[in-house]
Amino acid sequence: MTNRITDIEDLLPPKPQAPQPRDCCGSGCCPCVHDIYEEDLRKWKKQCKRIREGGLEEVPVEGALHPDKWKEFEIVKIKEIYSNCLCYTFKLPEGKNLGLSIGQHLIVKQIKNGRAVIRQYTPISDISEKGSFDVLIKIYPNGKITQLIKDWKVGDNIPWRGPFGNFSYKTNCYKRILMLAAGTGIAPMYQIIKAIVDNDQDETFIKLLYSSKSISNILLREELLTLCQFWNFKMTHYLSAEDDLRMKKYNETIMSRKLTKEDVKSELLQAPVDSTLVLVCGTRSFDKDMVNAAKDAQVPDKNIFKF
């Protein structure tokens, strides 16, 4: 009996190594290296239990990503969208997609001064696309990881991991979705919009309120305009800086001012809030204001999701 236990214990995978206090950069990364460790620890315990109970086979991972391991993917294309905002295209194994569900994201890792710095990104390519995936990244002057990302070049192999994210969506679960986004926060929204409008069985109405600095800073502008051809998607742009509205295109609604809490509440009051899902993604201050606006309009907490 003792030998059997010893043999089983020998089959157990090594316990994840806890990060050192210095490994956390202290900037509120989401997820943090400690969050990743806790997730690794949870999965390790689950795997150990499965092995002890006689199950040795791992559940196969269908997509190219792996939730427990960092996997490197080669950069095959870099396209500048506008100054300091770039789209990176990564190569996937032949016949493979990322294996993401709608609204999920992946995380990237870079090393700075001996510390692992991680950030989450939502691909803007179709989650079912095979052979490659696209990620939109804005380079910030003081960004801990983007100052490393700016040195990426075609041919580099970059470590990614996933899928992550606890967003769950069911077809026709809500009558409408109000999306509140700022800057690169459009990435998860775009992914969800495409998935819904491409589904002929989904009759959910979507309204996007998108905050940008100027018309030239509107990300995925042409792609969003194309989606406006669908009956169940509408959008309004809000520009925080003055701009020449003669650049406005057909079927675009543009407001030359910041998106306010009053705008959100006014939009929400146009239909029952109990059947409305509110999705928020932007800067911390933007997220806080938008969530508070939704709550002020009596949207139930369970109907508010912040990426």
What pLDDT was estimated at residue 11?
A: 60
Nearest Cα neighbor of 138 from 89, 78, 216, 85 is 85
Q: What is the pLDDT of residues 182-198, one digit of tens each?
A: 999 999 999 999 999 99
DSSP-derived letter for residue 297 is: T
In a structure prediction context, what are the per-residue pLDDT tens digits for the chain, which is 307 residues long?
344 444 656 666 778 777 776 666 555 555 676 777 777 777 778 777 776 776 655 555 568 998 888 999 999 999 998 888 999 999 999 989 999 999 999 999 999 888 888 899 999 999 889 999 999 999 999 888 999 999 999 999 999 999 988 898 999 999 999 999 999 999 999 999 999 999 999 999 999 999 999 998 999 999 999 999 999 999 999 999 877 777 788 879 999 999 999 999 999 999 999 999 999 999 999 999 999 999 999 999 999 999 9
DSSP 271-292: S-GGGEEEEEES-HHHHHHHHH
Peptide linkage before 16 cis (omega within 30 of 0): no
- Considering the four listed CATH numbers 3.30.413.10, 3.90.550.10, 2.30.290.10, 3.40.50.80, the one that applies to the domain covering 176-306 is 3.40.50.80
CATH topology (fold) of 71-164: Elongation Factor Tu (Ef-tu); domain 3 (2.40.30)
What pLDDT was estimated at residue 54?
A: 66
> What are the DSSP E strand ranges found in the chain?
71-82, 85-91, 105-112, 115-121, 132-138, 157-164, 176-182, 205-212, 233-239, 254-255, 276-281, 304-306
Q: What is the pTM of this model?
A: 0.80
Q: What is the pLDDT of residues 9-59, one digit of tens each?
A: 666 677 877 777 666 655 555 567 677 777 777 777 877 777 677 665 555
Q: What is the pLDDT of residues 243-263, one digit of tens each?
A: 777 778 887 999 999 999 999
* Residue ranges covered by each domain of the chain: 71-164, 176-306
What pLDDT was estimated at residue 1?
A: 39
- Distance between CA atoms of residues 104 and 99, nearest Å: 10
Q: How far is CA 258 from CA 121, 207, 217, 246, in A?
A: 25, 17, 14, 19
Is residue 279 within 8 A of residue 307, CB to CB? The reply is yes
Answer whether 71-164 and 176-306 agree in fold: no
